[in-house]
Homo-oligomer: A and B are copies of this chain.
């Protein structure tokens, strides 16, 4: 076991102590200076090898990617860029890394190349920083909810219902596809399957979470969800993690308050706890942007964007107001939008959301009270009879990051809506029971975790913020 970590040593001033440290060589220069990393921080510790008293054979094996164990003395560093270093007394090569074969050399690799080597990309500065921030965000999320009286609800992953309609589903089965049992009509006999019926991977744990909120008060899910959609974009994954809080007695205003407070809180958390990684990612993005034409660069750096979210109120705008703004804006009048906004009721596209957030308001925006017919069946109908108590939180650069609503708590209204949309009441008998017995106002939302990680790390492609992305034609590793 590593009795101490690079992170601990770098912040130590216990000089002249003897230390043992294990890690991987990032670089070895002048036959003398090893930059050693063990994953505990983005920073390396410099280990100074006494090359005159080290065998040539050993020196040759100190290559990028090799695992080594160092015994030495912690000293104040003479060099620039670090405060401590280790004067090496003993070095052991634990695992070699043949420089002729090792794909991750100390040079710039394309993200595309690194995606093909997703098992090794975590050994680079960028990906280790992204994944440490991802981990910190994940914990910040749990901490926020627990400290605010929420219970973690583990939603089922395999589901027998496909009523939620959030998207295309993956089927789950144990039937041998080459020997499918058939029933009399010649179609597949799903009663012979593992669960005795057709099952799918969940697209959302919301409906189940509602049943728990109606007893525990405040619950949240944080688990994988799935979309079998052929979307090859920088914002879509077939498998992604979602956070879904659900709160009894919350109306839509409370729901917006929760979403805003939640996002601010977790971002504020990583600004405090991930300083080194965020500083690195901030610089990385600045470098990347230099290769873009001036007018395509962001006005704010990564750190400025994160601080901006924490420090400013999200602008709350009704769908109706938004349509007014969009109808009269320049890109609509000049027909620059791909989908022109002509009338109330139009479904907003990514280009419209981005205009509102990035050009018009220049801050995160919460749109609310959408037309009923472009939103899901379970959303609370307003007294106007044509809008529902839905809300979307829109972020600069990534668009919709949160989608939520106050839920329709009135049994009859819900039943009418389901009937109109041909949703089978029998399949959702248990969901309707929550409206039959002790129903109450309640609200919740879903937040795509990877989109939040994208925003927090400044990574452009969602495939680069999850360890092993699943996308159409790709389930490697």
A: residues with CB less than 8 A from B are 1-2, 5, 7, 22-25, 38-40, 65-67, 94-98, 101-102, 104, 118-120, 122-123, 128, 131-132, 134-135, 138-139, 142-143, 146, 149, 151-161, 168, 170-175, 177-178, 180, 187-188, 194-197, 199, 201, 208, 211-212, 214-218, 223-224, 226, 228, 230, 238-239, 241, 247-251, 254, 257, 409, 430-431, 433-441, 466-468, 470, 472-477
Contact = CB atoms under 8 A, between A and B. Distances in A.
9 contacts: A1-B247, A5-B217, A97-B438, A122-B216, A128-B215, A131-B216, A139-B146, A178-B187, A208-B477
Contacts of A195: 238, 470, 472-475
B122 A248 contact: no
A25 to B, nearest CB: 8
Contacts of A188: 177-178
Contact of A151 (B132, B151, B223, B409): B132
A176 to B, nearest CB: 9
Contacts of A135: 146, 151-153
A437 B102 contact: yes
Contacts of A1: 247, 249-251, 254, 257
Contacts of A194: 170, 228, 230, 238, 472-473
Contact of A438 (B65, B134, B239): B65
A431 B476 CA distance: 12
Given A39-B215, A170-B194, A195-B472, 10 more contacts: A7-B149, A40-B217, A67-B214, A67-B438, A67-B439, A132-B151, A135-B153, A155-B468, A171-B174, A194-B472
Given A1-B247, A168-B174, A254-B1, A215 B123 contact: yes
A304 B323 CA distance: 63
Contacts of A472: 194-195
Nearest to A38: B217
Contacts of A475: 156, 158-160, 195, 197, 199
Contacts of A5: 149, 217
A171 B168 contact: no
Contacts of A95: 409, 435, 437-440
A106 to B, nearest CB: 14
Given A39-B215, A97-B438, A251-B1, A467 B155 contact: yes
A238 B442 CA distance: 31
Contacts of A230: 194
The 4 A-B residue pairs with the shortest CB-CB distance in the complex, in nearest-first order = A95-B439, A39-B216, A39-B217, A1-B254
A476 B473 CA distance: 31
